[in-house]
Structure formats: C-alpha cells, structure tokens
Structure 1
Amino acid sequence: MARAIGIDLGTAYSCVTVFQNGKAIVIPNEQGDRTTPSYIAFTDDGRLIGSAAKTQVAMNPNNTIFDVKRLIGRKFDDATVQADMKYWPFRVINDVGKIKILAEYKNEIKLFRPEELLAMTLTKMKEIAEAYLGKKISEAVVTVPVFYNLSQRQAIKDAGNIAGLSVLRIIGEPTAAAIAYNIDKNVSDERNILVFDLGSGNTDVSILKTEQGIIEVKSVAGDTHLGGEDFDNRMVAHFVKEFKRINNKDLSQNKRDLCRLRTACERAKRTLSSSSRASIEIDTLHEGIDFYTAITRACFEELCADLFRSTLEPVEKALRDVKMDKASIHEIVLVGGSTHIPKIQKLLQDFFNGKELNRSINPDEAVACGAAIYAGVLTGDKSEEVKDVFLLDAAPFSLGIETTGGGMRALIKRNTTTPTRQTQQITTDWDNQSDIVIKVYEGDHTMAKDNHLLGSFTLSGMPSAPRGVAQTEVTFDIDPNGILNVSALDKSSGRESKITITNDKTRLSKDEIEYMITVAKKLKREDKTQSERISAKNSLESYCFNLKEIINDKKLTSEIDIHNKKKMIGTIEETIEWLEINQRAVKAEFEQKLIQLEELCSQIMRKL
C-alpha cells in the first residue's frame, strides 16, 4: 500500500497520483475527472474547491479565486502581479508589501494569504487520494516550476504543512516528467533529454542526462509567468475590443461578463488545437446583447505570436548553460496542456531543425506521474521498476553573499547539482571589527542589489584583530528541496551563527502557519457540516418527489382512498414549499421533516 502521493499543483488544474504495483496511477476526483481545477470559491453557504468552484465562477466572480500559483512567494508590487490583477475578478490587496486575497465568506469579509489558498487545493488532492486508497495520507511529493526561487519553494512547503501534508520533496515539473518518461520507456543507455513544459502559468525547460535509472539535471531555465493563461488573456482582450467595436459598449469592467468570456476563450483555445476555426457563442453577454463570433487558428497565432516565440528563450538558455548544441539532444519530450497548440509544436520542431518531438507520454499527467514514482522511491518502494531510480537535481539560481563594494560572490552557481554544500572564507573590512553582517542573495547579476535578498544574519563577538586577519568560513548547504541553510564560523574564536532562509519578508512566520492550520481545520469542519446539511436536504427533496410520483401512479396506489391520497399529497406539497423557503435550514431540520413525512406514509399504509 502506498505511503505517499504525488501532486502536480497546477496553475489551472491539479492532478494527484499514487505509485502502486509498479506503476503510477492517476486518481480521478468525485466527478471521474483525472485533473481538478485549482479553483476555490466562497459563498454565503460555504466553501467550494475544484470543479464545483469553477462551474459557478461567472455567478460569483468576486469570491472565486484561481491562478494562486502566480501569486505564491511574490510581493504585491511585483510587475507580474500588477499585470495579472487587471484580468482577475477577485481583489488582491497590499498588506505591508505582502499579498492577501479578499473574499466574502458567509457574509463576512475574509483575507487569505496565497499559501492558505494553495493549501486548500492540496487538501482537496489529499482527500481525493484518501477516498481512492481508503486510508489517511500524510506525505507527498509536490512539483513546482523549475525556476521557482527559494521563497516560492518554502511557501509550497508551508502550504503543505497547513494542509496536513509533510512534503517529502519538492521537484521541478519537467524533472518529474523526465522520471515518468524514463520509467515508461525503460531507458537504460545514456541519453540527453530536453523536457519542454508549457503549462497554464509557466514555461519550464530542463536538460537531463539519463542512464541506468540515474536522472541528472544538467541545466534548467524557465519563465514563471508565461503560459496558457497569458494566451487566454490575449484572446479575451481581442474580443473585448471586438465587442466594443460592434456594439459601442465596454464590458471590460464587468467582472461577471469577463468571466463568461474567459471561459469561452479557454474553450476556443482548446478547440483550435485540433480545428482551424472555433466559435464563440455567449447569450446576453453584456447588457442583454448576444455575442456570436469566431476566431481562426491563424488569428489566434497572430495574437500570441510574440508570446509563442518567447517560449523558445528558455530552450536557448538551457542549451547555452550546459554548453550543448541542438544535435546533442536525443529526445524532446512535451509536457503541459499548452504543448497541444500546433504553432508551439512547429516552432519547437523548427528550432531543432525538424527533429521529431516525443509525444509518447500524456502531457497533462506526466508531471504528476513522475511525482508519484519519486514518492515511491523516497518511501522505500521495492518494485523492480524503481529500484535503480536516482535523482540528481540542479539549483535554478546562483546563491551567494554580498561583498565589500556591493558585489555578488556566488558560493553555489546556477545549475550546480543539488543537494550540495559549499564553503568560502571571508574576512573583516576594518581593524578590530567585532561583527560581520552576512547578506544572502539569490540570482545571477553582478551586483548584489540587482538580485533577490533572501535574508541576512550577524556573526558577533569576534576577537579584536587588524583588518583582514580574521578568518571566517561561510557555508551554504542546499537540501534536496532547494531549501538553503547558511552558517558562518569564526575560526579563531569558534563562534558560529547560522540561518535557514525562511525570513524573507513575503514568508509566513511560525505563528502565522499555526494560525492557518487552525483555520484550515475549522473550515474543514464547516465543509463537513455543509456537506451533511446538503445531503439531508437532497434526501428530503428526493423523497418528496419520488413519493409524489408513486402516489400519482394509479397502479401502485389503487388501494389508497381519495381522502388519504389528498392528505399525503397535501403534506408533500407543504414540505416542498417549506424546502423552497428554508434552503439554509440546518441538517437536523431536514432530517426531522423527512422523519415526519415517513411516519405519515407509514400510518396510512398500515391502515390498508
């Protein structure tokens, strides 16, 4: 029995898998779908997650949250956040630089951090797996875009913690896909594989060397803000302009109408992957006006031409970084829903001089399957298929410290194999210096200020000495999840100071995480109460209509006299009317009404 699951936590859709009996199994949700929308909705009655949330987005746009993965680990003033906010119907607010999402829940205004919302999707994936496996699950391997920085990776671990999941490992999405490909194809000889992963929110490229079950990431590149959602945005903007040109009306400020248009555009985009033309048909889109139009594949390709071309930039960068030419790549593996787009495939194939692209694995499920396989490896699965699997990942960014003059000294360079530990010596800048402030940065710019400050700490109490005499060892230790620990040791005094990079300004504190865990448990209890309430309401409603149908069937009720028949129908009608008025009654009230109705029927039937 599996002990851990694999989760592809997607921008638009998420997928949960398990490794059993030598293979990765995609677990369907309660609707039978193999992927689940990464949507959360808040209503007057309760909370909806997944398919139920997405289906009501047009009716409840302000309180339906999606694209949370694009917010994780970012600051409010991030340019990409500001750009995306124009397309989101929900409100993103600035809380001292931190991002919070506003929603109305049970007639109260609530503020949620992105980690909380991602935790809700993770909880949903966990529950789907538990329903399938018939046991509690507490461990998972979760995938992320390869270019997620340390803050974003740590935020994913926090989200897992809030969801009650111990995240065994965070691995890059294309790396997970390579694991799935390697197992599926039983590759034994040495091969260079380029995984091109174009999903809803990001473009990822990894070049990996595989041999005898060993998967070594040689280079990674990506854009965490380039994917199918951006193609949708271009189409939405195009049709907003067209609607205004035809009808002289601007629908861009109407959130409900924009949601309906976005849903139609997403559907049209999928159609254009297999057809040259797609229709957009929306009744009473805006101010009672129907919107019937169409878009050709050629028009769609022109709208997104620059974005499509930009997806090749990470490919070029990954090849440059590893000093590899195109001819050295043995396989180009496609992953992610947006790789279905024919123009994307053509651009990629042309870039590799006509080389055939590998479409042998399911692009929508490969990442999740790779996560499940690796979860099996980490939890000691003894299957023949995974006994030799060994993963060597790579650091997506350089990690280093600020030097005198504001420069950046990299201790761990980009694409270094991880986990790794690197040490360098630093010294004092002036005589009798007793403290050294060590600032830790992530990035590849020459000047430290142009990189991402991860955190800083101070080594204090150093003995007096002339400038340049003291010898301090700074050690960077990056674990398999890409989480960084930094320590500094003064060799003469033995004094040591250290930091785990978790104090970024966008990060959650320990107290905040504990509070969110408490809130998550409360929401789960409320969800259960709401589910039981709806079930009781549906049971009463079904009983009423079924009983009414039976009573009206002359063959089945010929022995019931007219008086009793009228009495029963009258009671049923009263109950149905009560249901219409008391839609928000509690579970016990619905159950009591059902008991009363059943007793009445029993009394009448006993008299016959």
Structure 2
Amino acid sequence: MSETVIGIDLGTTNSCVSLHINNKLKILENNEGGRITPSYVFFTDQNAVIVGQYAKRMADVKPEYGIYEIKRLVGRKFDDPYVKNNLTYLPFQVKNISNEPAIIIQGKNQILKKRPQDLCTYILEKIKNDSEAKLGHPIDKAVITVPAYFNIAQREVTLAAARQAGFTVLKLLNEPTAAALSYYYENKCSGDEQSYSLVYDLGGGTFDVAVLRKKGSDIDILGVDGETHLGGHDFDNLLVEHVCQILISKYNYTPKNDRRNMRRLHNECEEAKKILSICEDTTIILNAFITTHNSIEIPITRTEFENLAKTLFGQTIEIVDRCLIKVNLTKNDIKEVILSGGSTRIPKIQTMISDYFDGKKLCKFVNPDECVAEGAAIQAAMLSKDPAQEISQIKVTDVTALSLGISNFVDAMTFLIKRNTPIPTSSTTKRITVYNNQTNMTFDIYEGERVDAKKNHFLGVLEISDLTPAPPGQCAVAVTMSIDQNGILTVSARETVSNKTKDVKIAYTRGTRSDTEVRNAVVDARENQVEDERFNKFAEVKGYLIKYCVRSMYNFEQKGLTMTYKEAYDKCAEAVKTSKNLGVEDEQEITKLKNELVSLCSPIEKKYKFVNMP
C-alpha cells in the first residue's frame, strides 16, 4: 500500500486533486489533460458510465442522462425545500424513494436508480484512477474537503462514497480552512505576530466564511458561518429565470417542460455570467430554440445581472458580518481577506467585500478553483507517512462552538465538553441508576451554556435499555461524548456491569445552528448567571430528595418495614411523585419537603442501618 496522500476538492461544479511532494504543490491533471474535472456523470444507452469533461459535453445533447450538481443532493431528504427548489432547474429525473432523492436513468434495457452517494463515488473513482495513472502507483489515502456547513448526514455520505471508491479518508477538511492553508503556504506567511484572517469562499454550490487566528505556524479556527445552498449555480438560475420570463412575455414560449432546451439555456446563462465578469455586457443567443424563430438574442448587461443577484450577493456580506460578531472581532481586526472559489471572480462580489472592509486590498488566488484542493494537499502532507511528502508543520486547530453535555434526572446540565475545546476530543462521565431495578436510562443531549439543560439547544437523545437489575444507585452507566477530526459527534453509553453498549451520532457542525444563536447562547448564560446559580442549588436539593426517598423506600421494602412505617413509606412515594412536577420557582416547597422527609425517615434509617443512602 502506498503512503502517499492526495488532497481532493469534491466540488459542486468541478473537482480538483492536488499533491504536495518534494516540497512542491502540484495539481494532478486528469486523463484528458485538464487541471479540473467537471463534476458530471453521464450514462450511455448501455448504462456505461462516463465522468468529467466528456460527460458534460454529452449531457448537452442528452440532458436526461447527464447528472450534475450532485453535491446539492448529498445527505438531504427529498422533502428538503432546497432539494425541491433544485428540481425546478435539473433536467434529469429525481424521484422520492423513502424520502431519499434517487436519480432515475432510463437505459435501453433497464431503469437505473442511483443515490447521490453512488454518483459521488463515480467521480472519486475517476479521480483515483487518473491520479494513479499520473503518479504511476496506487493511491488509496486522501484528505477530502467539504463545506464547513455540511451536516453529519452530508459528511457521512461523503465518507461512504470515498470508501466505495477505494479511498481511506484521513480527514474531512472544511473548505475555507483548506483555502487559508493554501494562502499561507503560497505566501510564506511566518513570524510570531498574531493576526486575524477572514476566508470568503464562494463556489458553485456553497458559501463559507471562516475567521482564523494565525501566530507562527499555528492556525486557530475561531468561527465559521455559511450557507450550503448559495453559490454560482444560484446566480445561473437567476439568469435562467430572467430569460424564461422574457421568452414567455415576448415569444409566448416556456422552455421549462423541455429538458434539452433547459440544459442549453442553463449553459448559455452560465457562459453569460462568466463573460459579464470581464465585459460590461453580452448577448444570450438561442439558436433553433423555438420553431417560430431561427435565432433569439437576449442582451444582458453586467448591471442587470448584478440587480438580479443583489439579494444573494447581499446575503454573503450579512454572513461575513455575522461571523465577525460571533468571534467578537471588528472588520478592522482583520489583516487579510482571502478569496477562494470560482464565483469570487464576479466584480460586484469583490467590490462589495472591499467596501465592507473599507477598501482593504483583497487576497486573491491566481486559480481560485484550485486553491481548496491545494489546501487539502497541504493537510494531506501533514498526515502522510511518505518521507517525500514531508512539510513544515502548520498546526490547524478547530474548536467547539458551545459546550456539550447531557441532562440528569432533574434536568441539570452535566457539561462533558466545554466551549472552545480543540477538536478532536472526548470526555466520559458516569451515571448511576436512580430507581430500584431500573431497566433503562435516557440521556438528552444538549448544546449550550445554561445549567438548566432545557434552556439549552436540544441535539438528540440516547437510550440504553435492558440494564442489569440492581438496587437504586448500584448499576452504573458510563457516558462518553466524542467529536472526531471530521466534526462528527458520537455519544455512547456503556453499562459497567454487563458491558452492554449503545451509541448515537449527532450532527455537530456549526451549520446546525446559526452563529447568531451561538453568540446569543453565550451572552444569555453570562447575563443569567445568578439565575443559573439558583437553579443549580434547586437541582441539588431536588436530586437529593428523590434519591433519598427512593432509597428509603427500597430499604423499607427489603427489610419488611413498609407496613410498620406505612406513613413514612407513603410520604416518600408521594414526595417522589410530587417533586417531579416542581420547578425552580418552587424551591421553598422542595426544600421544605426535603427537610420533612429527612426528619421523618432519619431515625428509622439509623435504627435499621439503611444501606446505599445518599
């Protein structure tokens, strides 16, 4: 097995592969000689699969057989509004199978049903085969980039597609982080002075912002924000819709029911968008588009395009602003604004970013389509065991946005992973059963800073059942919370007696919550510190009361005292029932109840030597 590790940018529009070897970064060209590979998959009548440039060309002729924008379907449910919006513009069939999007290809002899994962695998297989042909030896290890806002489903589908293609993925690297690595490497950024950079990464399908702190060779990711459904394809779709409206009003024709014409229209609009990045105006020419006209010419100016996309362009600036607020920095704190992604070639985008940063010079790549793959290659070299890939170490650190933990039986938060903990990380706590012969434990998983768990953000639930029967407090369950290098949170529970285990994977990427929510959660905890202290004291009293009553009842039962001390036994049972419905506003009542029960049962406890009391 080769130790060489490559870096792959699996993009919405194009994919790219890079390698750092012998102290040099190089793009690995595909078998057609291209530096980037269109993320297109085409199925022939005989169901043969073609990937890349030729697939894109053939899709122009038979659009229902050419699949693209796969990344926008990855890890999503069919009823996702983003998926439904995309279907308006896609010329191939996408059907609902158990609420999963499935691409349908009508072959000559059979109908094919392909998952987005399968199509990603085809692209990765081509990348693997082309890279091996270029290097002359097998390649089975890679770092693959993903949008910072990819959720757990999207990340896991990417990992599964890579495994299916024959890759071992050493790391899923967030795209803006990859762009920053490429920039720092290319510009030989060094020195011990601390500085802040902002990466603005706008590609074909996704948009990411990352704020990074650099000191020496250490890069810390302070915060990210973004949108998994905002990019160059959305700008194309605005032009497509604009042209469709003109065709309807002037020519009484809508192409939306003609897949081939919609594919052609999409190509023309994409090309017009690119031309408008270097020219003030262009013309969208539609030859033989409708039977009544040999040729239709629709002029479009850069200003018209900018007006069409004004709202979407503005959204990217709002996200930049939001990200800076989250990390408590101002735009004046940012030393470098790094642009990556092909859509940053749009002049209006560059102007808006420069204006936002008061005229600051923007840091641009010669090839913004390649910088993410190059960053992945730098990360790959750091993880490689191949001596030829040795690289001056740049340490990249990602951190948890908010604290993570579980609630206990009185809704108090147990913090397992504190806010700003470097990733990957893991932490374990132990829980004991509250009730006699308790058969299951349920752990509600939260993200946030409040002591009252219910005031935090609920992430999910883990339940472990069939616990070993035991007296109250005598069966223990170890709960482990871990976040891996790919940003996937796993919560597992293991009963210490039988070693029975159960785990659940939770979406832990910054995309699960808006950064405004993250910032507000921190401020909320700070402003409600007194309230949290009050809740903590209340939870301690309530927890003690329930455990004291349950264990007293257990001892009454085991020692045959339930009838002798029926009043005390019944009051314990009633207190357990009553206390479950009492909140922090009932703190005086819960304290009074605890004192009454302890006074009532304490003499009996001492007389009969009760066991396992709290």
TM range, normalised to the smaller chain? Answer: 0.7 to 0.9
Cα deviation, residue 75, structure 1 = 0.9
Greater Cα shift, 389-398 or 168-177: 389-398
Kept in 2: contact 1:462–1:495 (CA 8 A):
no
Greater Cα shift, 4-13 or 360-369: 360-369
Cα deviation, residue 291, structure 1 = 1.9
Match of 1:353 among 354, 358, 363: 358
Kept in 2: contact 1:209–1:216 (CA 8 A):
yes
Query: Which amino acid is 2:230 matched to?
Result: L
Q: Deviations over 1:92-133 (max 9, x none)?
A: 111112221111234310111111100111111112211211
Match of 2:266 among 258, 262, 265: 262
Q: Deviations over 1:504-544 (max 9, x none)?
A: 9xxxxxxxxxxxxxxxxxxxxxxxxxxxxxxxxxxxxxxxx
Q: Please say if 1:207 is aligned against 2:208.
A: no
Aligned to 2:326: 321
Kept in 2: contact 1:146–1:222 (CA 8 A):
yes
Q: What pairs up with 1:68-467 in 2 under 5 angstroms?
A: 68-189=70-191, 190-287=194-291, 289=293, 290-360=295-365, 362-382=367-387, 386-395=391-400, 411-412=416-417, 416-424=421-429, 432-438=437-443, 453=460, 456-465=462-471
Kept in 1: contact 2:405–2:416 (CA 8 A):
yes
Greater Cα shift, 182-191 or 47-56: 182-191
Kept in 1: contact 2:64–2:93 (CA 8 A):
yes
Kept in 1: contact 2:255–2:261 (CA 8 A):
yes
CA change 1:157–1:400 in 2 (3 A) is farther
CA change 1:94–1:331 in 2 (3 A) is same
Query: Which amino acid is 2:189 matched to?
Result: V
**SS of corresponding position for 1:311:** helix
Q: Could you tell me how far apart the structure 2 residues matched to 1:414 and 1:337 are?
A: 34
**SS of corresponding position for 1:386:** coil
Q: Deviations over 1:226-274 (max 9, x none)?
A: 1111111111000000011111112111111010000000001111111
Cα deviation, residue 457, structure 1 = 4.2
| Identity fraction in percent | 39
Kept in 2: contact 1:144–1:153 (CA 8 A):
yes
Q: Could you tell me how far apart the structure 2 residues matched to 1:442 and 1:260 are?
A: 47
TM-score (norm. length: structure 1): 0.76
Calculate the aligned-residue CA RMSD, in Å: 3.1
**SS of corresponding position for 1:280:** strand
Query: Which amino acid is 2:464 matched to?
Result: T
Cα deviation, residue 20, structure 1 = 1.6
TM-score (norm. length: structure 2): 0.75
Query: Which amino acid is 1:8 matched to?
Result: D
Q: What pairs up with 1:458-477 in 2 under 5 angstroms?
A: 458-465=464-471, 472-477=477-482
Kept in 1: contact 2:171–2:486 (CA 8 A):
yes
Q: Deviations over 1:528-572 (max 9, x none)?
A: xxxxxxxxxxxxxxxxxxxxxxxxxxxxxxxxxxxxxxxxxxxxx
Query: Which amino acid is 1:5 matched to?
Result: I
**SS of corresponding position for 1:126:** helix
Cα deviation, residue 498, structure 1 = 3.8
Q: Could you tell me how far apart the structure 1 residues matched to 2:402 and 2:356 are?
A: 25
**SS of corresponding position for 1:320:** helix
**SS of corresponding position for 2:299:** strand
Q: What pairs up with 1:570-585 in 2 under 5 angstroms?
A: none
CA change 1:442–1:101 in 2 (3 A) is farther
Greater Cα shift, 85-94 or 104-113: 104-113
Q: Could you tell me how far apart the structure 2 residues matched to 1:114 and 1:371 are?
A: 23
Aligned to 1:565: none
**SS of corresponding position for 1:73:** coil
Cα deviation, residue 18, structure 1 = 1.1
Q: Deviations over 1:395-429 (max 9, x none)?
A: 57876557779999875577643111234565667
Aligned to 2:49: 47
CA change 1:296–1:444 in 2 (3 A) is farther
Kept in 2: contact 1:402–1:448 (CA 8 A):
no
Query: Which amino acid is 2:216 matched to?
Result: Q
Unaligned runs of 5+ residues in structure 2 are 509-614
Unaligned runs of 5+ residues in structure 1 are 505-608
Q: Could you tell me how far apart the structure 1 residues matched to 2:270 and 2:240 are?
A: 9
